[in-house]
Structure 1
Amino acid sequence: MTMSLGRSAWLIAFVGVVALKVVTARITDIVLFGDSYTDQSRAHSIANGTYPGKDYKEVYPPADTAADGGFQWPFYLGLYGNYTIWNYAVGGAVCSNKLTPLSDIPDVSSGQQAWFVQDHVVRNGTSHQKLLLDPASFIVIIFVGTNDVGVNSFVTNDQGTNVSLPNVADCQLDTLRQLHALGARQFIVNSLVPLQLTRLYSDSSDPTIYYPSPPHNGTVWHRTIFNLVHSLNRILRDGVRTLDTEWGGGGSVQWFDTYGFFEEMYNHPARYFNGSVPANVTGQCHQCPDPDDWRQCGIGDCTPDERDSYMWWDELHPSEQTGRNLAAEMHRKIEGKSKY
């Protein structure tokens, strides 16, 4: 016996199939914006006078290394998911230099976005534009905020006049809106990590290579950065939910709980760090014996065989092994399998 679907039932079934195809479309490209937690070589390229141009390709070890001492996590994300990586992040960047200007580094909201437009948007000198990437086949990931809340900004009370954390959060959300207007439709916003776990923002008042002088109150910094990170993450997460509703199905923005994932690695290190020495989540591999002299950095570093035992590469940046773990979890997030 066969059954025929009525017109309404058939239409519902058809729409369901179409929706399923949209959800399960193959992701082929990943577009990334951010700071030194994501940048592989753009900051070094700018410093060396070779300003990144159209279709700039990242430079990998041994020719150049990232702030994690080696390959940055997007490299591994590309391997795990067979993705083409478009990494526009720059070390030292903030969301907007108009809010928290650290230096003249291309920021997420303008400079880095301009690179994306140069590579992927055709405007032909008119108001009409064409996105060269298929919106169903790529995801935009934004991972920024460490410099916005840190040294020379909120933690040291050096942010711009009348600039607040909601302004910084709005910058990220407005950047998503701008990219959505260009045709992007799938987004992931990474939360800030628990910066209080780094040596720079520990409760120690000892000088570090990232803040050699003047003396600072480590206890105050430690508590302040904890509050800043949690506050900005809360504002951002609420904003992501609002934005997802605002688009009403015309786009999707997900929240990645990087903070929670870093806590997981910190609390269960043996699951994530497997170098030749016991897992270490409190120290760092890269040493700078004299905080006033960058030239001495590297003296006393852990050995190459020990690197994968460390959660932190230096006083501020995650290690390459931490990046591998992040890449694996982000791949699961893209596949809809991550609890983060």
Structure 2
Amino acid sequence: MHLRFSLLVLTTLPSVLGNGVLPGQIKNLVTFGDSYTDVVQVGDGGTAWPVYASGYAQVSLFPFARSGATCSNNITFRPFPSLFESQLPAYFSATGANPTTHAPGKLNASQTLYTLWLGTNDVGANALLTGSDGKVNLVDVMQCMVNWVKVLYESGARNFLFQNMIPLELTVLYSPNSYPNTFWKAQRNTTEWSVFMSEMVASGNTLTKLMLQALAPSLPDAHIGLFDSHALFTDMHDKPQLYLNGTAPLNVTGAINSCVFQLNGSTSQCTRATGTAKDSFLW
């Protein structure tokens, strides 16, 4: 598998003048987010990226991401463990860190990297895309995600990696050629959804980048990196031969586990790739 990515470092002034994160310095990886990062409920039965990352880097993994999560259920409600109401409290409980007392807990701050990859559920169906959250807007959601840095910083964290949203308009659910599926069976204009999602993701990613750039100078000794997941997934979609190595024809429009429903139906026809054929699919 060939990997290329873009990483923008939004580091604070004291960190620019001093030393940044050094090779071999990080010993702990703490992950927050949704199904893209959840190591327990892995949708395709594969191995989640934090397991690979921690293994290759030889660091200890502390996984708190959960499938279905949003940033806050007080902003975009979903009956899943959100970042602020579930994942962060679980982290504080497990480590003894405290943003109120500024207690760092059991993890050495200089040796720990904190990552966040959210947004898919916040902007998607039954959330911002379909107007299910009243007066909530994109700025509210993106500010919530950036606040994750501030809260962890107050508990002693210093090294952050913020992962932006992928091109969701390329996924099965939001592509112009989408069909009734597990996540949305009702009538919809798939072209409208795809265009709207493309604009929302682009706007949201720009907002978080600007917010993080504005925040960085107020956090002495912090190191903030912005991983361009959007660029990575766009490249994987456009050049699958550089990333996918399965035994089936390369596929960037279908999914390993695909279920097609009748409109408003409760039953479906499902196909599932197995074995090495799974490595031919982007989704």
Give the TM-score of the pair, scaled to structure 1.
0.73
Residue 180 of structure 2 contacts residue 260 of structure 2 at CA under 8 Å; is this kept in 1?
no
Partners of 1:183 and 1:135 lie apart in 2 by 6
Change in 2 beyond 3 A, CA 1:164/1:308:
same
Shift of 1:36: 0.9
1:77 maps to 53
1:219 maps to 191
Greater share of residues in helix? 1
Partners of 2:124 and 2:106 lie apart in 1 by 36
Structure 1 regions of 5+ residues with no counterpart? 1-14, 42-64, 313-340
Deviations 1:201-240 (A, max 9, x none): 0113631111012x01101101111111111101001111
Shift of 1:173: 1.3
Say which SS state the counterpart of residue 116 (structure 1) adopts. helix
Change in 2 beyond 3 A, CA 1:279/1:109:
same
1:238 maps to 210
Q: In the alignment, does 2:25 pair up with 1:26?
A: yes
Residue 189 of structure 1 contacts residue 254 of structure 1 at CA under 8 Å; is this kept in 2?
yes
Partners of 1:117 and 1:28 lie apart in 2 by 18
Give the TM-score of the pair, scaled to structure 2.
0.87
Partners of 1:293 and 1:40 lie apart in 2 by 29
Partners of 2:266 and 2:36 lie apart in 1 by 23
Q: What is the 5 A alignment of 1:1-340?
A: 19-20=18-19, 23-24=22-23, 26-41=25-40, 66-103=42-79, 105-121=80-96, 127=101, 129-159=103-133, 161-204=134-177, 206-213=179-186, 215-247=187-219, 249-290=220-261, 292-293=265-266, 299-312=270-283
2:8 maps to none
RMSD: 2.3
Structure 2 regions of 5+ residues with no counterpart? 1-13
Partners of 2:102 and 2:237 lie apart in 1 by 49
Shift of 1:285: 1.6
Partners of 2:176 and 2:104 lie apart in 1 by 51
Q: Aligned letter for 2:52?
A: Y
Residue 20 of structure 2 contacts residue 223 of structure 2 at CA under 8 Å; is this kept in 1?
no
Partners of 2:116 and 2:57 lie apart in 1 by 18
Residue 257 of structure 2 contacts residue 273 of structure 2 at CA under 8 Å; is this kept in 1?
yes
| Aligned-residue identity in percent | 30
Q: Which has the higher contact order (CA 8 A, sep 6+)?
A: 2
Partners of 2:166 and 2:224 lie apart in 1 by 19
Say which SS state the counterpart of residue 154 (structure 1) adopts. coil
Shift of 1:92: 0.8
Partners of 1:256 and 1:165 lie apart in 2 by 20
Aligned length: 266
**CA radius of gyration, larger in:** 1
Partners of 1:133 and 1:110 lie apart in 2 by 21
Change in 2 beyond 3 A, CA 1:163/1:128:
closer
